[in-house]
Structure 1
């Protein structure tokens, strides 16, 4: 994405009232943080989360996770930096300091351990090798407001909660209109411990945006089973005259542990569309039919009434 386009998207988001922005060194190998810093640093009310675990270096070759199966880059970026996975005390501190520099800020509201499962790093590794200690120290110093992890699974975050003192988790793809696998164990645990959740991946990589042949789920082509379920949900939406994306976007916010939902867009028009989807009125009968059809967990909290107003950010963290 050209720099000018990225900055236009960010400033448009700010101008329409969005205040919470999530990023990571992994995104664009530093360029996402740089764009955010250039476009929004210094604005009052800006809420930022970034991540640790992937340190960026110019003196190393690409990590295998940066490459596709045929050895070509998985992301197109102008960055000359490559990724070193490091969840140690020193690695967390270096990643944090690098992020502050790229973002042009002196503190972060949230700092999250990023995808340790990708390279087989365990909760015990992070607790014992000093990564957690670094996060705890940064929080105690006040340069980080809240600590947690950002992952595409809920089992490891649940283990984190039991092993340490965490404030917030970014859960991507595991509490959506398509799947609520985290509802029975993880989300109740968060409620009991007073841990807030930011939900990412509400469209499950695209299958809940447009459930057609070739749609993606969890970053890969959707299976026939997943596609069939998404299409069944879409059919209920059609019967009630509701955009599928509106239901997918609004659903997670009804859970009391959820503080915010993340959505992204390459164009300013995507931001406007998402805000419009948040304003779509969804009647209780829609949620009831999804549950009756077995397409939504029977115990999943849903918006209580037609036209319920959501905060863009519930200040619970």
Structure 2
């Protein structure tokens, strides 16, 4: 699936990144357990929808998400996937084999050990993208050991591209300004409800040619289902934010466009955005999100959303 509502900007990535991907935190049990059968059906639905990009991490279910990709991608019919995973955190199992704890390790030894473990779980000799994961508060460690380590891994061919993945755009922009970064993953900070990444990160990435992957376009589910029990950025939704999400949905309904379609396609209004990844825990969610990605959105809706404050007007040209 390489089409898109808009075309991307010049990118430093050495390969084409599919425009729609699946985030695999739900396959690792985020919020609720997903059975092996459900995980297999999710990936089979991805194959049917033409989705080939999967973002994962060792922290997603203490390696379970990576293990499931390793076991289930090929049987689902996905033989040439694009995979991004993350490093900077090590899984420390208990002596009895239980998952144990997750600890930070930004040393070169730790970075390599993390990648080696990921490759073993994924059943691969390399991955396409390696992100330094949630390195917001570790600039000295990144500068001293972690970034040089991932750069060497790229030079050795164990990864094709390197970058940073996190939920805060300010630290991410600082890393893009300082380091040779191919791609970044920003989650929850470039959505219809949150434009924080637009202040510094996205203009900087457009200037440097750093590809941007946007996650969290539903802000942890609120823009998928703006109901009182929804989550917003991993917490129960505040009343005023629920009201904003519902108003956004009302405007979309005036144009007969699903709110989810506007949420998934919104990031592509910025030329620096190469891809959107959406967490999916079932075949039904994959099918719905793929349909939302393809749903035609009239220019009039974007203009109306801009008037209401959900879309920065300058993104519309």
TM over 0.5: yes
Of 103, 111, 114, which residue of structure 1 is paired with 2:133? 114
Deviation at 1:81, TM superposition (A): 4.0
Q: Note the alpha carbon deviations across 1:97-125, whole angstroms, 9 max, x for none.
A: 000000000001000011123xxx32222
Deviations 1:215-269 (A, max 9, x none): 2111001222222221221111121111100110111123211111111222211
CA contact (8 A) 1:28 1:79 kept: no
**1:142-171, Cα deviation, whole Å (9 max, x unpaired):** 111111111111111111112211111111
RMSD: 1.9
How far did 1:60 drift?
Answer: 7.9
What per-residue deviation string (whole Å, max 9, x for no partner) do you get for residues 2-54 of structure 1?
22221221132123211111100000101100000011259543100000011
**TM-score, normalised relative to structure 2:** 0.84
Question: How far, CA to CA, are the matches of 2:261 and 2:38 in structure 1?
Answer: 25
Q: Which runs of 5+ in 2 are unaligned?
A: 1-33
CA 1:93–1:214 in 2, change beyond 3 Å: closer, same or farther? same
Of 22, 28, 34, which residue of structure 1 is paired with 2:67? Answer: 34
Structure 1 residue corresponding to 2:118, chosen from 93, 99, 122: 99
Are the structure 2 counterparts of residues 60 and 231 from structure 1 closer, same or farther at C-alpha, using a change threshold of 3 Å?
Answer: farther
Q: In the alignment, does 2:2 pair up with 1:2?
A: no
State TM-score, norm by structure 1: 0.84
Q: Distance in 2 between matches of 1:3 and 1:79?
A: 18
Distance 1:79 1:110, change over 3 A: farther
Distance 2:170 2:157 in 1: 29
Counterparts of 1:115-154 in structure 2 under 5 Å?
115-117=134-136, 121-128=137-144, 130-154=145-169
Shift of the 14–288 alpha-carbon distance from structure 1 to 2, 3 Å rule, reads: same
Q: Residue by residue, what CA displacement relative to the aligned partner does 1:189-220 show, whole Å, maximum 9, x if unpaired?
A: 00111100111011001111121223211100
Residues 52, 80 of structure 2: 8 Å contact kept: yes
Query: Any stretches of 5+ residues in structure 1 without a counterpart?
Result: 62-77, 303-317
Report what 1:45 is aligned to. Answer: 80
Query: Displacement of 1:85 after TM fit?
Result: 1.3
Number of equivalent positions: 282
Q: Is the CA contact 1:123–1:159 (under 8 Å) kept in the aligned structure 2?
A: no
1:83 alignment partner in structure 2: 102
